[in-house]
Amino acid sequence: MLNSAAQVNELMQVAAGAVRDTRGRVLIAKRPDGVHQGGLWEFPGGKLQLGESPQDGLARELLEELGIRIRAWRPLIRLQHDYGDRHVVLHVYRIDAYDGIASGQEGQPLAWVKPDAMDPALFPAADRQIINALRLPTLYLITGQNPQSTDSFFVRLRRALAIGTRLVQLRAHGVDDLTYARLVRRAYPLCHAADARLILNRDPKLVEQLPCDGLHLRSDLLRRLRGRPCTHERLVGASCHNAQELRMAEQLNLDYALLSPVQPTSTHPEANSLGWRGFAELARAARLPVYALGGMKPEHRDRAIELGGQGVAAIRGIWPDASENSML
C-alpha cells in the first residue's frame, strides 16, 4: 500500500510482453549486471514515456529491444510491486503473433523457455505472478454436484477433458474423506493423461496425502490461515468475494483467486453480485491472477481477460452433461 500522495507520483509505469512462439515457449531476456535487478531474467519491455499508453509503449520497446512488430496481443496481467527503492506498475501483455525475427538489439542474452520450466528465483520478484499467469489456462472447471453415480461423474470428467479443459477443481463437500480420496485417486490419472492439472478443495492435511497438483481454499479457511499451505511445487488458490480477501490471498503468496459472484447464479440467488464493473475494479488492483466466477460460460473468457482477469471459472457453464449428445 502507498502511504502518501507523494508516493503515488513515484509509481513507475512499465509495459512488458510475454512473446510466444508456435511451440508454446516464451521469450525472456537477461538484465545486464550493474542495473536494478541486474543479472536476472525478465520479460522484454520497459518504462513508459510521459503520456504514453501501455500498448504504444510496449510496441516501441519491443521494436527497440527485439526488432519485432506486434500483430496480435491480449492483456495478460496488471501488477504493482514495491521493491523498496521503487514502486512499479507492470502492464503485461501476451504476444501471440509478430513480424520480424526476435534478436537482442542491445546485446542482451535471450532464451525461449516454456512457462512450466521457468524458475521464479531467477526473475525479479514481481515476475512471479506473470509466470503464474502464463502457466494457468483461461478456463477453470469446478466439478458439479456431489457424484450420486461415480460412473456418471467420470463420464462427465472425461468429456470435459476431451474438449480441452486443463485445470480441474474436484469439489465434493457432501462426501466423506474416504469417498473423496477414492474420487481423487481415480480422477488424477485421467487428468494427467489429458495434460490437465487437478486441484483439490479439501482440508490441507488430507490434500497432503493425496495425488494432486494443488489445493483450493474456501474463503473461511483463507481468513484463518497465517501462512501458505503446501509447497510452491503445488498450486494454491482461494475463493474470494471482496478486496479484503484478495489482499489475504496476496499476503499468503497464493497462485490465483476465484472472485465471485460476478453475475447472479441459481445456486446463490441471494448473494449480491459484483457485476463486470465490480470485477474489473478488483481484478485490476489484484497482485495475482484472478478468475471470474458466478454465472460464467466459456464465451465470457474474452471479457474477463479484457477487464484484467485470468479467465473464467464455472461449474454449470462448463461441466458437461452425462448424456451421450451433450456439448459445451
Go through the domains of the chain in sequence order and give each one's CATH number.
Answer: 5-119 (3.90.79.10), 139-314 (3.20.20.70)
* 40 pLDDT higher than 70: yes
The overall average pLDDT reported for the chain is 90
Please give the pLDDT value at position 9.
44
Contacts of 90 (CB under 8 A, 6+ apart): 14, 15, 16, 77, 78, 79, 80, 81, 126, 130
Mean pLDDT (whole number) for 240-244? 97
Q: What is the rounded distance in angstroms from the CA atom of residue 121 to the CA atom of residue 143?
A: 34
Please give the pLDDT value at position 324.
44
* 271 pLDDT higher than 90: no
Across 78-87, 124-133, 158-167, 194-203, least confident range? 78-87
The DSSP bridge partners found for residue 197 are 167
* Residues 97 and 64 sit within 8 Å (Cβ to Cβ): no
Please give the pLDDT value at position 316.
82
Amino acid residing at 85: D
Cell numbers 499476503 label which residue? Answer: 251
The rounded percent of the chain whose pLDDT value lies above 70 is 92
Please give the pLDDT value at position 7.
45
Please give the pLDDT value at position 224.
95
Strands (E), the chain: 11-19, 26-30, 41-42, 45-47, 69-82, 87-99, 110-113, 139-142, 167-170, 197-200, 214-217, 235-240, 256-259, 290-293, 311-314
3-class state of residue 233 by DSSP: coil
Please give the pLDDT value at position 323.
54
Mean pLDDT (whole number) for 256-268? 87
Please give the pLDDT value at position 112.
98
* 300 pLDDT higher than 90: yes
* 20 pLDDT higher than 90: yes
Q: What is the rounded distance in angstroms from the CA atom of residue 309 to the CA atom of residue 289?
A: 7
pTM for the model: 0.87
* 35 pLDDT higher than 90: no
Categorize the per-residue pLDDT at 230 as very low, low, confident or very high, splitting at 50, 70 and 90.
confident
DSSP H or E stretch at residue 137: none
Please give the pLDDT value at position 268.
67
* 3 pLDDT higher than 80: no
Across 154-163, 226-235, 260-269, 309-318, least confident range? 260-269
Mean pLDDT (whole number) for 47-55? 95
Mean pLDDT (whole number) for 122-131? 92
Please give the pLDDT value at position 38.
79
Q: What is the rounded distance in angstroms from the CA atom of residue 284 to the CA atom of residue 120?
A: 22
3-class state of residue 114 by DSSP: coil
Q: How far is CA 190 from CA 139, 162, 168, 193, 237, in A?
A: 18, 10, 11, 5, 22
Categorize the per-residue pLDDT at 125 as very low, low, confident or very high, splitting at 50, 70 and 90.
confident
